[in-house]
Amino acid sequence: MKKLMIFAIALVFGLALFSGIGPLEQKAQAGKTTFVTIGTGGITGVYYPTGGAIARMVNKKRKEYGIRATVESTGGSVFNVNAIMSGDLEFGVVQSDRQYQAIQGIANWKDKGPQKDLRAMFSIHPETVDLIAAVDANINSLADLKGKRVNVGNVGSGYRKNAIDALVANGLDYDKDFHSESLKAAEAPGLIQDGRLDAAFYTVGHPSGYYKEATSGKRKVKFVPITNVGSLLEKYPYYAKAVTQVTQHYPGAANDADVPTFGVKATFVTSAKVPDEVVYAITKQVFDNFDEFKKLHPAYGGLTKENMLEGMSAPIHPGAMKYYKEVGLK
């Protein structure tokens, strides 16, 4: 009997080895589910549908991989990095500048030091740093923000620092020069429409629900060009010149031309502590079904497999790297 059992166990393992299936598939076949959560941003941003798109693609293969991915709306990039580092989230969408700062231990991570366990998987859509203002507030440049009520952003967001950098480059102090608010992005469009806010910053891909909401109300709203940022582009490797395609995406905005600004990229990150096979499965699901993924949001229009491997500054997770090597992307 004992011999028979040993034989049976050896046969099962042998079969598993022979069929080349990994620990995740073995777990899946044993009926075990690996639960993972993806941190995103406000529900009117692009991170939230991005997390949803990735989760949906991964959950389709639930039988094969045994992964059940869920999505959480969060305060944004800084919150996501910190929650991934503390183990509260497994994955997150994070601005490329925030990924850089976290791995270097600067900006929000100056006191905590480098977030050594942060791992990159891939980049996603481009994001622009934008300022919108109610037309009746007469704001045509950052200098006109003086004395106004302006949302600079919640502390857990990625965009707050982009706003502050743009203000500093224009010689403005958000503490002194205007009434600054630290609201979550999702709240700002409604407050502008209600007349309780004059202007707001946000860094997001396009089109976004946020700007659709902000530009389709009774109070006319426009995008304000963000200029004089040459010093930022020189100083910080993660910032690049950009143009916000206002006319194409937001016909309700009171602009008749696209608006110059600067931008970053959205990236998908995890922790070194998340097992290789889980990261491999998610990477494979997105890249093997790239054409399907691209169709899930209009902000992904310019994506190529190659440019999804640009803009990462944390080490690439070995699970993702295994996939990239297999398909010749690395």
Whole-angstrom CA distances from 225 to 140, 157, 261 are 8, 22, 6
Tokens, residue 163: 């706003």
Decide if residue 39 touches ligand GLU (CB under 6 A): no
Decide if residue 37 touches ligand GLU (CB under 6 A): no
Decide if residue 76 touches ligand GLU (CB under 6 A): yes
Closest separation between CB of residue 46 and ligand GLU, Å?
4
Reduce the secondary structure of 125-155 to three states and give it as a string: EEEEEEEEEEHHHCCCCHHHHCCCEEECCCC
Decide if residue 263 touches ligand GLU (CB under 6 A): no
Closest separation between CB of residue 39 and ligand GLU, Å?
10
Decide if residue 311 touches ligand GLU (CB under 6 A): no
Buried b (16+ CB within 10 A) or exposed e, 208-222: bbbbbbbbeeeeebb
Decide if residue 38 touches ligand GLU (CB under 6 A): no
- Considering only 157, 244, 271, 283, the residue that binds ligand GLU (CB under 6 A) is 157
- Considering only 25, 37, 42, 150, the residue that binds ligand GLU (CB under 6 A) is 42
- Considering only 28, 39, 45, 221, the residue that binds ligand GLU (CB under 6 A) is 45
Helix (H, G, I), strand (E, B) or coil at 321: helix
- Considering only 95, 215, 261, 285, the residue that binds ligand GLU (CB under 6 A) is 95
Decide if residue 41 touches ligand GLU (CB under 6 A): yes
Whole-angstrom CA distances from 81 to 92, 106, 113 are 7, 13, 13
Decide if residue 158 touches ligand GLU (CB under 6 A): yes
d(CA 6, CA 32): 23
Decide if residue 285 touches ligand GLU (CB under 6 A): no
Tokens, residue 32: 């075990």
